[in-house]
Chains A and B, each alone.
Chain A
Amino acid sequence: MTPEAGWIEGKHERDALVFNAGGAWSMRELARLVREVRAALPSRAALGGRTRARIDLNRLSFLDSSGAWLVADTKRRLEAMGVATEVVVGRPADRALYDRVEKSLARIGVLKSPARPHPLLAALGNVGKTVIDGGKKGGELLSFFGLSLVLIVRAMSMPWRIHFKAVFKHLETTGLNALPIVGLLNFLIGVVVAFIGAVQLKKFGAEIYTVDLVGVAVLRELGVLITAILIAGRSGSAFTAQIGTMKVNQEIDAMQTIGLNPIEVLVLPRILAMMIALPLLTFYADMMGIAGGAVMCMLALDISLTSFVRTLHEAVELKTFLVGFLKAPFCAYIIALVGCFEGLQVSGSAESVGTRTTMSVVEAVFLVIVFDAFVAITLSILEV
């Protein structure tokens, strides 16, 4: 059964406009009906001084709320032209629907188009908003840093209050489970550094310095940096998503009502676990990077393992290793802090969890690199 398609026809009677509507006025054909009805509306000039109109719905076979909206909209347009419009509805069910729709539209009132500022102004406004938001966030992160320090000191004085079970769980997920990927990537980095060194230094006949290059680059910078960036992407994001989802589920509220401090329960174990795991991972990464370098030296430069180790021993001091290694706990603090901070900033929706997770990774990587550059510059000024 296909219902008769909706139609409208306009007639200009002597003193009034008459619109006869028939068929099914429904959402299904609304797009076409809107065009036809708007085409049937007379221009102001064609009105010819008529001040009354009648929309006759007697021949409708079906009317739904969008059809009723179209009738009401037409009436509104006619009245805006100064034509008093009367709607004649045939069937009582349609009457009830039409009245209801008209009442709802009256309640909502005339919709104002949202004001759009000039695009240049909007861009300027966005810049300003970003700067202010960035500043605000910096302040909040700083105060969260302070809060975490206070709680760490307190936890140290009452070590039995530390949630060791959680610490170990996070040690496993952020540390142990990251071993394969951290190892593989750093091995490859070692290979790449050795390869670049080999190609470039061969020009000067100084390929033996490839060993120095690998040793210094991996131990001092790359080992810790690559590992920190990897862990920020791997675990920092997980912290944000975990805490954020708990926030959405109101688990954090529940904790507070039970008397658990969410920072103590959720944030501290993560920070502690990260500060233990990242230095260990960094040491492991250093070793893997050097192993990668050694393999490359053997294959491409015919430097045997024993001579590699001997040269490395001369080239690298303990200081070189320590400069890299001691950066790890600070990077760990940054990653865990940012991850937890962004997790706690999640508000209400699934989308917010996504945005905050992205932000967490971006900020953590950014801060880790800024911190690393800061250390490098400071050390070079101090000539260490």
Chain B
Amino acid sequence: MDAANVIEVRGLVNQFGPQRVHDNLDLDVRRGEVLGVVGGSGTGKSVLLRTIIGLNRRRSGRISVLGVDTEAAGRREAEALLRRWGVLFQDGALFSSLTVAENIAVPMNEHTDLPKDVVREICYLKIGLVGLPADAGAKYPSQLSGGMRKRAGLARALALDPEILFLDEPTAGLDPIGAADFDMLIRDLQQSLGLTVFLVTHDLDTLVSITDRIAVLIDKKCRVGTIHELLQDQHPWIREYFHGPRGRAAMKE
């Protein structure tokens, strides 16, 4: 495995019933980059993410994350790996019976033996890092707006100071200003915390403003490149995606 790659996917096949979603898909994610994953509906963007983090069993292929083969890893190894990545699901996926601060504390209580007051302090540090006000810590997820829930989910994903951050449509359902703020937050945190970010998105503005490289899922495989390389690509879907009215609007800035 190339030391510069934190995630390597080789020959991945995913199939649900008769429908093959990924066929011999290869993908590398390099350390310290923000990789955007795009594709039309049903091309298996979320499936790819779920497969890498182990929520979806693959038909065949090999995935190694931080040098660990996720299928071959033993329980101990797999658990150690869990500490090294954080995942933000679409709507935050916060535990609804816990307050925001308690949500952020869950991974720490599970994986470390830190004293209670330290856990609390770090919870509030994360709340501050993701730009939530201090009083959000005592609130329940149902009392927060969609944007705040995502920030809280991000804080939970960052609880163990992971090396890789997986984001599933982080800006879906946010207003343009909120979405732009969230983009900047991700970029900012990625730089100051030195994260590698795997970002599934539909949002062209997000792609243009924060990703280093983009992986486009088409024809059950993926094509990776910087935005400028992809602009030259002649594949009809890619052309339509980047040269359509929305693509042009996002590119103008």
Contacts and interface: CB of A to CB of B under 8 A. Distances in A.
Given A27-B160, A108-B125, A108-B128, A349 B97 contact: yes
Nearest to A114: B138
B8 to A, nearest CB: 18
A341 B91 CA distance: 28
Interface string B55-80: 00000000000000000000000000
5 contacts: A30-B114, A31-B115, A65-B129, A104-B128, A107-B128
A69 B104 CA distance: 15
Contacts, number: 78
A101 B112 contact: no
A123 interface: no
Contact of B127 (A108, A349, A351): A108
B121 A73 contact: yes
B83 interface: yes
A27 B161 contact: yes
Nearest to B143: A348
Nearest to A107: B128
A104 B129 contact: yes
B83 A31 contact: no
Interface in B115-171: 115, 118, 120-122, 124-129, 134, 138, 140-142, 158, 160-161
Given A64-B161, A73-B121, A100-B188, 4 more contacts: A65-B158, A96-B191, A105-B124, A109-B134
A26 interface: yes
Contact of B192 (A34, A96, A108): A96
B133 to A, nearest CB: 8
B122 A97 contact: no
Nearest to B113: A31
A105 B128 contact: yes
6 A-B pairs with the lowest CB-CB distances in the bound complex, closest first: A104-B128, A349-B96, A64-B161, A348-B142, A108-B128, A27-B161
A34 B114 contact: yes
B83 A28 contact: yes
A347 B126 CA distance: 28
